[in-house]
Each structure stands twice: as structure tokens, then as C-alpha cells.
Amino acid sequence: MLTTPHSMAGAAIGALLPNPIVVIPLSIGSHFVLDSIPHWQETLAPYIPTKKTYIRIPIDIALAITLVWLVAHWQPNHISTIWLGATMANAPDLDVIMVLVPRLKQGLLKKYWDWHCKIQQETSSMWGVLTQLIVIAASLAVVYETR
């Protein structure tokens, strides 16, 4: 799943449950739940970056930052947990560093990488974009309604 839907789910968790002790595990857990539903990604396993990847990443990150900023603007009393939730919801994807530095893929990190890849329900089909748009829209709607 792209960065933006993960960020929005984590931001919604941070807005609704402004307790860092609760936000951190729920946001990290949301990452794996979202990865297990069908979603689009232009790079499928074995995750070799392409020119499209380097175009998508900055756009995706900019959109995530913009939307999390909007959510934080709606709920200024929960800014820190909103950003914490958005960040923690993306933390499990730091394993992508192993694509760039393959020698890191060993031992426990390799086991985590293999498991994280196994739970992915990725599709090259643009229908997989719909699930991500639903996550983004639902997260925005929930936070907007509870402000």
C-alpha cells in the first residue's frame, strides 16, 4: 500500500485516540491490516525500483504530508498524536531499505521481510487504487466528523 493511505489511517487513529501509548501499537497494526487488503503498487515483488517508483514516491509523500497537515488543522489539540500515528503507520515499511542495501536482508530482518512480503495483497491493476482511495476518504471523513 502507498504511504498516503497508511498515513491517513494512522492520523485518524491519532486524532480519535490521543494517547501515544495506544496510538503507537494501533497505528503499526493498521499498517499490516491495510497491507493485507488488495491494493495497487507499481512495483511488485521483488520490488526493483523503476523510473515510475521515483516519480510516485515524492508525489505520494507530499500528498500524505498535506493530508495529515489538514487533519492536524482540524484537530489542533491532537497534533502530536496525529503526526505520531501517521509516522508509526508507515514505520513497518522501513524494511524497504533492504532493497537498496541487500546485505541487510539476513537473520531476523530477513524473516520480517519475508513475512511482510507474504501478507501483501498487491496488484498491478488500477482497481487496487480504489481500496486506497476508500481508506483515505474514510479516514478523512471520520476525523472531520469528530472534530
Number of Cα atoms under 13 Å in the Cβ half of residue 63:
15
For residues 123 and 129, what is the distance between their CA atoms, to the nearest angstrom? 9
Domain count, the chain: 1
User: What's the whole-model pTM score?
Assistant: 0.94
What residue numbers bound the domain in which 82 lies?
3-145
For residues 144 and 147, what is the distance between their CA atoms, to the nearest angstrom? 5
For residues 15 and 72, what is the distance between their CA atoms, to the nearest angstrom? 8
pLDDT digit of tens for each residue in the chain (147 aa)?
Answer: 899 999 999 999 999 999 999 999 999 999 999 999 999 987 777 778 889 889 999 999 999 999 999 999 999 999 999 999 999 999 999 998 888 888 998 999 999 999 999 999 988 788 899 999 999 999 999 999 998
| φ, ψ for residue 39, nearest 5 deg | -150, 155
pLDDT at res. 125: 84
Cis check: omega of the bond before 18, within 30 degrees of 0: no
